[in-house]
A and B are shown apart, each in its own frame.
Chain A
Amino acid sequence: EPEVTQTPSHQVTQMGQEVILRCVPISNHLYFYWYRQILGQKVEFLVSFYNNEISEKSEIFDDQFSVERPDGSNFTLKIRSTKLEDSAMYFCASRIGQASSPQHFGDGTRLSIL
């Protein structure tokens, strides 16, 4: 069964550094998402992406964050200057079409900011 893959599984970065989290969504999916889960807290929506543009973003997704689909397969989340509070598990998800179709999640990237 096709799945969403995320790399790396764990990223350790110094505060202030840029980090790029990578995702390969399921190949025929059209909608892409990033969520994050701070340890012990709920999963929070960051951004949704469709037709090569952001369709919705949360207040968490400020100017330090950006997303890109540089080619036909990858979907990346960039944090320009990381803060300690960016430490979290980041999940990528994709869905095929209309909003009633379920989102499929990757296994996540654990981001640790030192």
Chain B
Amino acid sequence: AQSVTQPDIHITVSEGASLELRCNYSYGATPYLFWYVQSPGQGLQLLLKYFSGDTLVQGIKGFEAEFKRSQSSFNLRKPSVHWSDAAEYFCAAGSSNTGKLIFGQGTTLQVKP
């Protein structure tokens, strides 16, 4: 069955520290991969996406993610976290026909001053 796993439910980092959020997928073929961010009371905002080609993709707000086929992973990274990055982060895999997204359970990021 298709699934997306985010192993870390909650992560706390200090402001200015680097960040890596993990995402693993299980899919029949290489899916389209996305990272979304959700601030409290708001919708899901797209951070970045991977379809094909260069396995390191750049997104908004200084985020990047690396697709590793051998590990079925698509981890999100940021070199220096800002307090405003505190939010919930969702990894998602997309179907190539209907575009239906399968989401991971999300990782809540807390940023310490």
Are A and B subunits of one complex?
yes
Residues of A whose CB lies within 8 Å of any CB of B are: 4, 31, 33, 35, 41-45, 48, 50, 55-56, 91, 93, 95, 99-100, 102-108
B interface size (C-beta, 8 A) = 26
What are 17 A-B interface contacts by the 8 Å CB criterion? A33-B101, A42-B90, A42-B106, A43-B90, A44-B103, A45-B101, A45-B102, A48-B98, A48-B100, A56-B95, A95-B99, A99-B32, A99-B96, A100-B32, A100-B94, A103-B46, A103-B99
Is B63 part of the contact surface with A, judged by Cβ < 8 Å? no
| Chain A residues near B97 (CB-CB < 8 A) | 99
- Minimum CB distance partner of B105 in chain A: A42
Given A48-B98, A99-B99, A42 contacting B104 (CB threshold 8 A): yes
Given A91-B44, A105-B43, A42 contacting B103 (CB threshold 8 A): yes
| Chain A residues near B96 (CB-CB < 8 A) | 99-100
